[in-house]
Amino acid sequence: MELASSSHLSAAPRVPVEICEEIIDILALLDPPSLKTCHLVSRIFTPRCRAHIFRSIHLDSDAEQCRDGEELHTLLSISPDVAFHIRQLWLQIRRRDFQSYGLVESLKKLKNLELLELGDRTGRYGYHYGLSWGLSDMDFLRPSIQHLLELPTLRELRVMWLIQDFPVSYIRNSNIKSLTISHGGLRDDEPGDTRTLRSCPLESIAINYNSDDQTESVASLFRVKGSNGRPVIDTSSLKVISISTDPPELLVTGRPLFHSEHLISVTFNAIEVISSVPRLHEYLAPSLQSLRYLKLDLQICEPELGTSLILSITTELAKLRGVNRIETVDIDIIIDMDVHFDIPRSWEDIDDVLAGPKSGWPSLKEVNMFMQVVMFNADSKDDFYVALQGLPKTHFKQLTESSQISFKFVYDHYLI
């Protein structure tokens, strides 16, 4: 029998490209920096590595890849194929960007963007200056950003940190499924529009504000316009809502969001005063059969709220008994700087409502409670803080001992 030639004996086994790509995908999750070395190993690895390396681009002064539009333009001029891989763009707009040819040309080359986050520049000590979208200085830059908003691939838009007067027509005419507005403002640029208009069918929305005058921005999303009477967004397909209750007027203005019968996740943020406690049964009534996740974010800023705020939340949770299919409840409680109070026995009512023998939460599988205390001069070994850490044994016994509900309690203190 004739032996195989030496060339056949020494040949290394070939690994299918698909397996190599799966390994690179895992590497991207476990050790992203190593991708820069991995792509040098073989030209076969380069496309997959670049897909991960350049998937997310942050244009800000602290970014590692491209600190501004000019650097991005240089990168895309040397390697034009990189534009194909960019799926997420965080754009921190600064004054020098108003006349940046490099930024404008770079944005025009992006055709596959899925997420766009817009924010203003940050000054010393994290201070945000604020940027009005209607500034004449924005005239040069505005069309290229509008190009991104019209991309058929764009699915998520975030209008962040003091971007003001952002036109609602951009949202209406986009293909996004997810919208976040955080400390920014919208402008109704469609007054008297008599054309036939479409609504943007959102599936997820997050709204966070910190001033009373910005509730008008939310109201502009629901105004009907055009010959066919369409609002900017279609809420009927909403599945996820995260909304601030501060100021309380914001929650009232955002009531149309809760008309959806398909909600699966709802988060109420910044519950700080009694007037901001949401009437859960009223807001959640249309979606109680679809809702699976509920999160309540409380902040105790005054000692008396240690009793009244918790009592109000417990009362609202009790109204959901027997009429919901919620599987997970998260309750975050932040106790403000050095606030002390006697922990009332009424805190046990949360335990009874969620895990008692007549709880009325038949689908509940998981309750997570995160307790964070902000300290300045306080001693972390103070009796009050020790008592907070012991709540699972003193006030939440039924949740702790439940065989049907997984209860996780996390205590943390934050020193400033």
Angle ∠(358,363,364) on CA atoms, nearest 5:
75
Which burial class, exposed, middle or buried, applies to 30 when counting CB atoms under 10 A from its CB (0-12, 13-18, 19+)? exposed
What are the Cα distances from residue 389, in Å, to 248, 271, 341, 369, 408? 31, 22, 14, 11, 12
What is the C-alpha to C-alpha distance for residues 72 and 117, in angstroms, rounded to an integer? 16
**What integer best gives the mean pLDDT of the chain?**
85
Alpha carbon distance 148, 58 (integer Å) = 15
For residue 405, pLDDT over 50 is answered with yes
Distance, CA of 278 to CA of 282 (rounded, Å)? 9
Instruction: Report pLDDT digits (tens) over 385-394.
Output: 889 999 999 9
Q: How far apart are the C-alpha atoms of 148 and 175, rounded to whole Å?
A: 11
% pLDDT > 90, the chain: 45
Greater confidence, 117 or 359? 117
Average pLDDT on 381-400 reads 91
In whole angstroms, how far apart are CA 242 and each of 180, 205, 295, 361? 9, 6, 9, 22
Beta-bridged to residue 373, according to DSSP, are 335, 413
Q: What is the pTM of this model?
A: 0.87
Tokens found for residue 139: 């005239």
**What is the reported pLDDT for 170?**
94
Return the pLDDT at 365.
96
Residue 195's CB: how many other CB atoms inside 10 A? Answer: 9
Give the residue from 127, 117, 115, 122 showing the smallest Cα distance to 95. 122
Residue located via tokens 């036109």:
167
